[in-house]
A and B are shown apart, each in its own frame.
Chain A
Amino acid sequence: MTTTLISPGAASAAPGAALVAPARGAKSEGARVLRAGFIPLVDASVLIAAAEFGFAAREGLALDLVRDVSWANVRDRLAFRQFDIAHMLSPMPVASMLGLGSNPSPTITPFSLGRGGNAITLSTRLFARMRDAGAPEGADALAHARVLRRVLDGMRDAGEAPPTFGMTYPFSSHNYEFRYWLAAGGIDPDRDVKLVVVPPPLTSDALAAGAIDGFCVGAPWNMVASERGVGRIVAAKQDIWPSAPEKVIGMRPDWAESHSETVSRLLVALDAAARWCDRGENHDELATLLAQPNYIAAPVDIIRRVLAGEFSLDDTGERRVIPDYFTFHGGFANYPRPSHALWTYSQMLRWGQAEWSPVLAEKALSAYRPDLYRAALGTGPADADLRAEGTSFGDRFMDGFTFDPQAVPDYVAAFPVRYEQVAGSLSDDA
């Protein structure tokens, strides 16, 4: 099954255990063993497949995968050279370049790990109240958000505490997608609800225990909750914005520069692994591997259905099929598209995490390195790197907005729901 030099058992189950920094040879680019951190999620598939199914070995690389428990650990272990590369949330390199967070250290991405994978799940209790408030059968994501707004109004009038919702990290697609969905329904995520952080593997338990009333997280954790009967999936990433950036491979820019040959080989290996992951006939093998305790440690049949995009929305048998729930490779899904970096920056502006300035916009852009992708793979999409987003059929934002990367402040200012002080900073400098 595997031709890598490192056994699957190398993925450490105890991230706190002592890790010795990888040996670095004196030769031109040092050892060909790359230590890679990851969080147990289906969107780490390309990285895991590259390590386990021989794609890395074919390029003369060995990937030593280390499972971690928090994105903060992944960021710090990359910054402090415990990891050479890491499975990261796409906003993490952008935040690092903008100097946001508690340990901002320069981080770039030359490769995106694909599209899709997230969803929003609400507790069955809260969803029952939405049904009572008139949510129609088969309502779409926007209709669900609008009905939730009505339920929240009712709760406020009755003097009830607002619901608590979980996401994964302040600089995450989940944070921005959850906020996008809430705001599209007229809900202010900073005033009308309470957003907290819940680590992905704990989301289903937190929902069952009543600690949270909903969450936005990557696969397979939404379906784990819906099949347990504790949650109802009300929106998928595809409903909010199908092209939305998700996970990426992050690395230190100085390392990428001094290991340019290794980076090229890595991207070739990841590209081949991504191609393999996209083919349906490989999904059984992939699901079996991902289900292992050292990777995601979740039921294999759930992972198989997640890969096929076959959703159990709740435990009553209501189903939905999203054909491209995961795209690992097709349509240049791995290309680190600079307009995505700017869109992420726009959401940081929208929610008061960052301020607008053309200099910061350049810094956000510097996190994405399509030049490294093109240099390694000799290809790339034909359209402009800074293209308008949400303009093509099948790739709309749920609220009908379009993103013009040349007019970020205007884009942010036009949102009816956003962090209140943004407007000032936008008009001052725009």
Chain B
Amino acid sequence: MRHADLTILVIDENAIRSSIIEEGLREAGHLKVTVIHEMNGVARIIETLKPDVIIIDLENPGRDMMEHLFQLTRTVSRPIAMFVDRSDTASIEAAVDAGVSAYIVDGLRKERVKPILDMAVSRFNAFSRLQRELAEARSALEERKVVERAKGIMMKMRGLSEEEAFTLLRQTAMNEKKKIADIAQSVVTAAGLLT
């Protein structure tokens, strides 16, 4: 069996991240990849799919359901024996750091799983970085908006020019050791209360 023949199940509530993982698996030549976003019916999916590897995000409280499922099937005729991959401690620590875990079927050679896990880890990390940058960009945009509104209020209420309004905001922020956006927010809030 070539590595491409592994059946892989990806469980991730985050649709964007799971599609990034799926793409990575396909690029690596894995064609039997199934992605699900919720735990509903996961028992049936695992029974029919018989995955060799399950990749699951650690934010998913459904992990405990899987533990139960693997435990439960010990008592039926066709047990599903899957284990948390322990191929090498460093790579597992990196995985847990990144927020992802992999279950592998009993008997699968560890070398076959490592590239899959490594890929998932790097994509999970890239996704977190992307989200962080997005959140920062979004908050920078929000801050700029509130500064614009504060300037407008100050120009209208105190007859300042735009430049004077901004200088006053910046000076106040420096004096009070706060961010300009925070001062601007208090201007906007105060104006809302006073008008």
Contact = CB atoms under 8 A, between A and B. Distances in A.
A102 B58 contact: no
B86 A81 contact: no
B75 A419 contact: yes
A197 B58 contact: no
A255 to B, nearest CB: 14
B136 interface: no
A101 B67 CA distance: 7
Interface in B25-44: none
A77 to B, nearest CB: 6
B118 interface: no
A82 B93 CA distance: 8
A71 to B, nearest CB: 5
B67 A170 contact: yes
A16 B57 contact: yes
B165 to A, nearest CB: 34
Contacts of B67: 71-72, 101-102, 169-170, 197
A240 B71 CA distance: 24
B59 A16 contact: yes
A202 B70 contact: no
Nearest to A14: B59
Q: Which 5 A-B pairs have the closest CB atoms?
A: A16-B59, A103-B84, A16-B99, A199-B61, A170-B71
A17 interface: yes
A73 B128 CA distance: 19
Contacts of B82: 102
Given A16-B59, A170-B71, A170-B72, A76 B96 contact: yes
A171 B68 CA distance: 9
Interface stretch (A18-26, A226-234, A241-249): A18-26
B89 A80 contact: yes
A70 B84 CA distance: 14
A195 B43 CA distance: 13
Interface in B49-71: 57-68, 70-71
Contacts of B98: 18
A19 B57 contact: no
B179 interface: no
Given A70-B58, A70-B62, A353-B71, 17 more contacts: A15-B59, A15-B99, A16-B58, A16-B59, A20-B97, A70-B60, A71-B64, A76-B96, A76-B101, A101-B71, A102-B67, A102-B84, A170-B72, A197-B68, A199-B61, A352-B74, A353-B74
A40 to B, nearest CB: 11
B39 to A, nearest CB: 9
Contacts of A102: 66-67, 70, 82-84, 103
B92 interface: yes
Contact of B97 (A18, A69, A70, A168): A18
B64 A103 contact: no
Contacts of A20: 97
A12 to B, nearest CB: 11
Contacts of B97: 18-21, 82
Given A102-B84, A103-B84, A196-B68, A18 B89 contact: no
A414 B92 CA distance: 44
Given A102-B70, A103-B83, A81 B63 contact: no
Nearest to B43: A196
Majority secondary structure of chain B interface residues (helix, strand, loop or mixed): helix
A72 B74 contact: no
A73 B63 contact: yes
Contacts, number: 93
Interface of A: 14-21, 69-73, 76-77, 80-82, 100-103, 168-171, 190, 195-199, 201-202, 352-353, 419
Contacts of A171: 71
B131 to A, nearest CB: 10
A288 to B, nearest CB: 26
7 contacts: A15-B59, A19-B96, A71-B64, A81-B93, A82-B93, A102-B84, A171-B71
A401 to B, nearest CB: 23
Contacts of B89: 80
Interface in B83-116: 83-84, 86, 89, 92-93, 96-99, 101, 103
A167 to B, nearest CB: 8
A69 B59 contact: yes
Contact of A70 (B61, B74, B75): B61
Contacts of B99: 15-18
Interface string B140-166: 000000000000000000000000000
Given A18-B98, A103-B84, A202-B61, A72 B66 contact: yes
B124 to A, nearest CB: 9
Nearest to B125: A18
A202 B92 CA distance: 29
A197 B61 CA distance: 10
Contact of B96 (A14, A77, A101, A197): A77
Given A16-B57, A101-B71, A190-B75, A80 B64 contact: no
A353 B74 CA distance: 8
A81 B74 CA distance: 29
A80 to B, nearest CB: 5
A425 to B, nearest CB: 13
A77 B100 CA distance: 11
A195 B68 CA distance: 9
Contacts of A103: 83-84, 86
Contacts of A419: 75
Contacts of A82: 93, 96-97
Residue of B57, B65, B70, B86 with most chain A CB atoms under a 10 A cut-off = B65
Given A15-B58, A102-B103, A170-B71, A196 B65 contact: yes
